Structure 1
């Protein structure tokens, strides 16, 4: 189904495998696991400009929402007039209601490649060698349902902490927002979905989830503190 990802995934596998071999003399027991963490962090760092653009776009979109609500109330019986007024509002503000969406979408192929690299038993029709390695005795290709143990329990504990902090920050954002989005309660629960996913994917993919969600948590906190990038919750 995702054969079009075979080439980039194979390239990523080559880089990860080579780097793991390079650091193996120093970090032999955890070389591949550490490489997964470092590789994920490196990709997230490379994608930082997209994240900055997305946050700026969310800020611009959040500023437009109150005005859009006023227009919807004013022209609720005239859809054509509402479209024209909304277009004028976007033109005058120099942004759009979809600002921030494109940078987020641009990151999806990278996340798909990384997830496939760490979650699937084969790459390009060949066995995935990354999943043959271990972390403290637990194979990186093992699933919680078949190899429950201290490593998985530690992983779930760390994912739960990250999810809890993310949920609290989401709650704070929703409280700050002058126009809370519908389904705000569900938004606060979404971070805990990583625990459910981690229960059904290989340990390697769980390490990827822990790294990328932690990165997102820290990244968003730092970007919100930057002048001109702070954004209220906008859904």
Structure 2
């Protein structure tokens, strides 16, 4: 196979076992619930279940991505200062920029990590479905019998999960070709649109004005258009089952990102100002509930009150003669520096 084939085999085999285990687990669950084990609905729901499991496992990476992306936004003014200072020396500029990234704990390519890590899973699912349909080939825990069911499963009785837009035409063989083309086209458009909306949502709502200029912003703008086009062009060759996986994954990303942007926006962004307005409205509507949680104006520092217990003032010392006469003593309070 060669070195590249060996590397691919080394990566894909564990993925086959992991993906097939989750896929079969969901399939057995839906079969127990009464769905036809050979039907397309049980396998379609199993693919959606697989997507949910994978995306839930990637939540820690998504959180890291959000933090890294936020740090990238916040250091953009410093990046521009370095560009002005070392614009004549590209090598020095690159060294100082990478040093700044390291100090901020961020990476300009962190926003691509979830997509890059999902690509091997994506191709493993593609091969599982494609080879199950063409050769009834078993992979991982997917036996030949299950591979045959998976490869020949049809949604709504006519739309095969292993069929693709490219492989079916309205004038092709079989009366179901038109339905396959229509469903595949809808899923390709949905996959492309959700990819674009997710990137657009991040740039429009959770990026400060300073971060919308400079090299990082240019990178984000390029990804905004390149990724949807790439997925759209490639999507015509993907089986419907794989398109279901990717579209569901995009919908998960949209919902997850919407929650993070709404509840924990980056300072200085439109989402941050919108959250401040919502907090003010809540405080005005329920003052007794939000009295102790007034929203802090942007840029202000939160000063915690001094919660140390108040020290009791000790009485001044008096001589015996002073105590008998009832006159105030001249001794000093040790807390005030008199007696030490």
Structure 1 length-normalised TM: 0.77
Structure 1 position 53 matched with structure 2 position 64: yes
Q: CA deviation at 1:32?
A: 0.8
Partner of residue 3 from structure 1, selected from 2, 9, 14: 9
How many residue pairs get matched? Answer: 231
Greater shift in the superposed pair: 1-10 or 159-168 = 159-168
Question: Counterpart in 2 of 1:167?
Answer: 196
1:226 and 2:226 correspond: no
Q: Distance in 2 between matches of 1:31 and 1:157?
A: 21
What do the CA deviations read for 1:161-208 (whole angstroms, capped 9, x no partner)?
464355355446545543131583662363254343332122211111
CA displacement, residues 28-51 of structure 1 (integer Å, 9 cap, x when unaligned):
241011100111111101211111
CA distance change for structure 1 residues 148 and 231 in 2, over 3 Å: closer, same or farther?
Answer: farther
Q: 1:116: how far off?
A: 4.0
Residue 143 of structure 1 is aligned with which of 161, 164, 174?
A: 164
- Partner in structure 1 of residue 241 of structure 2: 204
Relative contact order: is structure 1 or structure 2 higher (C-alpha 8 Å, sep ≥ 6)? 1
Q: Distance in 2 between matches of 1:214 and 1:10?
A: 25
Q: Is the 8 A contact 1:23 1:31 kept in 2?
A: yes
**Structure 1 alignment gaps of length 5 or more:** none
Find the aligned partners of 1:53 and 1:210 in 2 and give their Cα distance: 23
Deviation at 1:132, TM superposition (A): 2.2
Q: Do the aligned partners of 1:162 and 1:217 also contact (CA within 8 Å) in 2?
A: no
How far did residue 61 of structure 1 move?
1.3
Closer, same or farther: CA 209–119 of 1 in aligned 2, 3 Å: farther
**TM-score with structure 2 setting the length:** 0.56
CA distance in 1, matches of 2:226, 2:95: 37
Q: 8 Å contact 2:20–2:139 — kept in the other structure?
A: no
Distance 1:229 1:114, change over 3 A: farther
Superposition deviation, residue 117 in structure 1:
3.6
Secondary structure in 2 matching 1:57? helix
Point out the structure with the larger helix share.
1
Aligned match of 2:85 in 74, 82, 93?
A: 74
Matches within 5 A, 1:81-120: 81-83=92-94, 85-86=96-97, 89-90=100-101, 93-98=103-108, 100=110, 104=114, 105=116, 108-120=119-131
Pick closer, same or farther for the CA change 1:118–1:64 going to 2, 3 Å.
farther
Please give the alpha-carbon distance, in whole angstroms, between the structure 2 residues aligned to 1:201 and 1:159.
Answer: 9
- Superposed CA RMSD in Å reads 3.4
